[in-house]
Amino acid sequence: MDSLNIPSLNLTDFISGNDVSKQTFVEQLGKAYENVGFVAIKNHTLTNQLSEQLYHEVQNFFSLDDKIKCKYELPGLFGQRGYTSFGKEHAKGRSEGDLKEFWHFGQYVDNNDLINKEYPENVIVSELPEFNSAGKNAYKALEETGKIMLRAIALYLELDETYFDDKIENGNSILRPIHYPPITHEPKSAVRAAEHEDINLITLLMGASSEGLEVQNKNGEWIKVTALPDQLVVNVGDMLQRLTNNKLKSTTHRVVNPPKEKWNMPRFSIPFFLHPRSEMRLDCLISCTGENNPAQYHPINAGEYLNQRLKEIGLKN
């Protein structure tokens, strides 16, 4: 991580620290997001117990027979809930599918918010009675950490600390357990996840089961990044970059194929993509524009932007 200058920050400094430590956290976070787009966070709200339970259930699911898994790949959901089979998704600008299969847990609306009508229901895996509860518990914990992170980002942008709170309440966030199976033959140009930027506001990444994540620095060089077991790697997504008129950086990253001697090893990864409600405006903030820094993006809301991007990556026609 040092080679990419990704700082490791303690979330306790923001939550329960004094004014000085809170402001220091905000400044370090903001500068990292301007320069690199990634930070590592410790003392977050996802416990080791929740993380281990989810990884256990995820590995059980992807070990199921393909016929069973495909029962949960439901037409019309565009991969937004349930199972997406191997090779279906590709990076923007590519046609060859990534070497992965994945599952999507979506929002759990526990009140009478009418936005619930916008969301498909989460898909229940009958063969694994603990699978869905493990997903929900991790989802809620990561959502809480994301809310806190966005409060720090809001302060860095000189907004009200709670600027994002109502915009992400019951937002269209996704928890995506990913399985990269063993590579059984020469994959030609396909990789486990081709170079891309995330669509959402921020992404919170749990520690993966093996190496492979790489981030592109300002010189175009690819640098390895590994999330430590007790930390989350949290990066800026395109929605936040767009909102801040490129002030905060959505960094290009990828998951490369392992050396040939490790082709027989699967890889598991679980990112949480924090999305706002569909009606949130992504128009460039006035504070991030000016006479010498005009808006670089046209006005759009989060729902419209998400649909546009889902088409670009092959999940929606």
* pLDDT above 70 (res 2): no
Q: Which of 83, 84, 81 is nearest to 108 (CA)?
A: 81
Taking the CB of residue 129, how many other CB atoms lie within 10 A of it?
10
Position 209 scores a pLDDT of: 47
128-154: per-residue pLDDT in tens? 999 999 999 999 999 999 999 999 999
Q: One-letter amino acid identity for 160?
A: D
The pTM for the full model equals 0.90
Position 310 scores a pLDDT of: 84
259-299: per-residue pLDDT in tens? 666 777 788 889 999 999 999 999 999 999 989 999 999 99
CB 69 within 8 A of CB 61: yes
Distance (Å, rounded) from C-alpha 100 to C-alpha 23?
A: 40
**CATH superfamily membership of 2-312:** B-lactam Antibiotic, Isopenicillin N Synthase; Chain (2.60.120.330)
The neighbouring-strand residues paired with 259 are none
* pLDDT above 70 (res 90): no
Q: To which H or E segment does residue 219 belong?
A: none
Q: Which residues 6+ apart lie within 8 Å of 158 measured at CB?
A: 287
213-240: per-residue pLDDT in tens? 888 877 788 888 766 778 899 999 999 9
Pairwise pLDDT comparison (33 vs 86), residue with the higher score: 33
161-178: per-residue pLDDT in tens? 999 999 999 999 999 999
Position 149 scores a pLDDT of: 98
Rounded mean pLDDT, 204-212: 71
Position 162 scores a pLDDT of: 98
* pLDDT above 70 (res 70): yes
* pLDDT above 80 (res 49): yes
Mean pLDDT over each residue of the chain, to the nearest integer: 88
Chain CA centroid to CA 273, Å:
3
* pLDDT above 50 (res 66): yes
